[in-house]
Amino acid sequence: MKIKSAEFVMSNSDVAKCPKGMIPEYAFIGRSNVGKSSLINMLTSRKSLAKTSGRPGKTQLINHFIINKEWYLVDLPGYGYARVSKTTKKIFQKFITQYFERREQLVTAFILVDIRHKPQPIDLEFMQYLGEGGIPFSIIFTKADKLKPKAIDNHVEDYKNILLETWTEMPNYFITSSSKDIGKDDVLSYIDELNSNMKPTA
Ligand code: GTP
Ligand code: MG
């Protein structure tokens, strides 16, 4: 898919105020600092469409971007960030769960995980949460530039092993690096394919 246009639409903490209508949308979620905003910039080839930062907790709101005037790309705040209080740390921020529970327009979520780390409980918990809610998701491994190919394979394998303990199959996954422009076409083609599946056939 060629990105002809990518524009910021709005930021919200209230799901009820997110764009109306049934334009298909795709959400990017994951731990703080995993590289969600950077990935969005890589996918759209826009350097600073989504705000990035070396400090975790940069994205605090639900951000809608419209791509090719056809679909929404949604940048969400990270979960599992320690600056929130102990009680809220245990659960995912309420407006994040409300987002997933109420956005009927959501076609699929992309859960981003840092390829350098072993499977983390909070990511597995989030996958479990989406799975139980019947919300489709894919995994996007980020920061692949930080590891050698063999280590990448090993870390993906660790994920497969742990997910296959609870799931019948490994979800779709992508290996990406925003700094090295890796994985862009794979993710965009996947979105393109899902978008075409939704168009009524004449
Ligand atoms: P929050 O909005 O705080 O939840 O973070 P985020 O997930 O949106 O992460 P963001 O895109 O702001 O990136 C966090 C840090 O990781 C920044 O310092 C980025 O430069 C760095 N980063 C993101 N993607 C990559 C990547 O593919 N490779 C490398 N080496 N660094 C990356
Ligand atoms: Mg961000």
Count CB neighbours of 66 within 10 A. 18
Least confident of 8-12, 84-88, 155-159: 84-88
Q: Which atom of ligand 1 is nearest to the CA of 56?
A: 3
Which ligand does the CA of 35 lie closest to? Answer: 1
pLDDT digits 0-9 by tens, 92-143: 677 888 999 999 999 999 999 999 999 998 899 999 999 999 999 999 999 9
- CA-nearest of 131, 140, 147 to 186 is 140
Q: Find out whether the beta carbon of 179 lies less than 6 Å from any atom of ligand 1.
A: yes
Cβ proximity of 28 and 3 under 8 Å: no
Percent of the chain residues topping a pLDDT of 70: 92
Average pLDDT, stretch 150-154?
97
Tell me the pLDDT tens digit for each residue of 29-61: 999 889 999 999 999 999 899 888 777 777 778
Q: Decide if pLDDT at 164 tops 70.
A: yes
Please give the pLDDT value at position 17.
95
pLDDT of residue 62 exceeding 60: yes
Which residue's alpha carbon is nearest to atom 24 within ligand 1?
35
**Residue whose CA is closest, atom 12 of ligand 1?**
52
Q: Is 25 left (phi over 0), alpha (psi -120 to 50) or beta?
A: beta
β-bridge mates for residue 72, sequence order = 25, 66
**Ligand 1 and 24: CB distance under 6 A:** no
The answer to whether residues 95 and 107 touch, using CB atoms and an 8 Å cutoff, is: no
What pLDDT does 92 receive? 63
93 in contact with ligand 1, CB cutoff 6 A? no
pLDDT at position 64 over 80 = yes
Q: What is the pLDDT of residue 2?
A: 93
CB atoms near residue 20 (< 10 Å): 8
Whether 86 has a pLDDT exceeding 90, the answer reads: no
Please tell me the residue having the least CA distance from ligand 1 atom 22: 35
For ligand 1, atom 17: residue with the closest CA: 54
190-199: list long-range contacts, CB under 8 Å, 24+ apart: 190/138, 191/1, 191/26, 191/71, 192/1, 194/24, 194/107, 194/108, 195/24, 195/70, 195/71, 195/107, 198/24, 198/107
Ligand 1, pocket-test mutation among 40, 41, 53, 120, most atoms within 8 A of CB = 53
Total-model pTM: 0.92
Q: Give yes or no for residue 181 CB within 6 A of ligand 1.
A: no
CB 81 within 8 A of CB 91: no
CA atoms of 114 and 108, how far apart (whole Å): 19
pLDDT mean over 63-80: 93
Q: Residue 90: is its pLDDT beyond 50?
A: no
CA angle 168, 169, 170 (to 5 degrees): 140
Beta-carbon contacts of residue 1 (< 8 Å; ≥ 6 apart): 68, 188, 189, 191, 192
Ligand 1 atom showing the smallest separation from residue 60 Cα: 2
Is any atom of ligand 1 closer than 6 Å to the C-beta of 160?
no
- pLDDT value of position 150: 97
**168 has pLDDT over 80:** yes
- Tell me the two tokens of residue 61: 């709101």
Please give the Cα distance from 109 to 194 (Å, whole number).
Answer: 12
How far is it, in rounded angstroms, from Cα 41 to Cα 27? 14
Q: Give pLDDT, residue 46.
A: 94
> Does the pLDDT of residue 85 top 80, yes or no?
no
